[in-house]
């Protein structure tokens, strides 16, 4: 029998330009307001500078910056999170190959939840593209 914690992934959920996204909470050290982020000496990048959104206009209404455990990564600007959800790992579907070819390596899967489809982002994969 598996440990219950190993069967679930805790994700921070936010929406950018109508696209729901989730980040493994284990990758995040802290979340900062924009003033604090800008006053820090850290490099800052908007999520859409790292993950392509195609022709879709990207705007942040209530931006927050997240600091990742991977210290070489910049602070990443995301939209103010909506929730933290525990998703069953068995419910996660890998991204189709064609989507991987056209998009970012960081978007690795999707999960259907009560609030809709959430694209899963792995910020450690971003180390190679940030």
DSSP character string of 10-38: EEEEEEETTEEEEEEGGGEEEEE-HHHHH
Specify the pLDDT at position 4.
54
| pLDDT averaged over 10-residue windows placed end to end, the chain, 130 residues | 70 94 95 95 90 85 93 91 95 75 75 93 68
Query: What is the pTM assigned to this prediction?
Result: 0.84
Rounded Cα distance, 115 and 64, in Å: 21
Specify the pLDDT at position 130.
45
Helix (H, G, I), strand (E, B) or coil at 77: strand
Angle at 46 (CA atoms; ends 60, 65), nearest 5 degrees: 80
What is the number of structural domains in the chain? 1
Question: For tokens 């690795």, what's the residue?
Answer: 108
Specify the pLDDT at position 1.
40
**Residues in a beta bridge with 12:** 23, 84
Specify the pLDDT at position 129.
45
Domain that holds residue 30: 4-126
């Amino acid at each position: 029998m598996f440990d219950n914690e190993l069967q679930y992934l805790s994700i921070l959920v936010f929406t950018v330009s109508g696209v729901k996204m989730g980040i493994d909470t284990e990758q995040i050290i802290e979340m900062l307001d924009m003033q604090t982020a800008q006053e820090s000496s850290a490099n800052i990048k908007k999520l859409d500078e790292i993950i392509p959104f195609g022709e879709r206009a990207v705007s942040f209404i209530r931006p927050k910056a997240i600091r990742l455990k991977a210290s070489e990564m910049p602070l990443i600007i995301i939209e103010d999170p909506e929730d933290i959800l525990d998703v069953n790992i068995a419910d996660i579907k890998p991204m189709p190959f064609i989507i991987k070819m056209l998009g970012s390596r960081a978007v690795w899967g999707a999960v259907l939840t009560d609030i809709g489809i959430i694209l899963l982002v792995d910020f450690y994969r971003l180390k190679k593209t940030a």
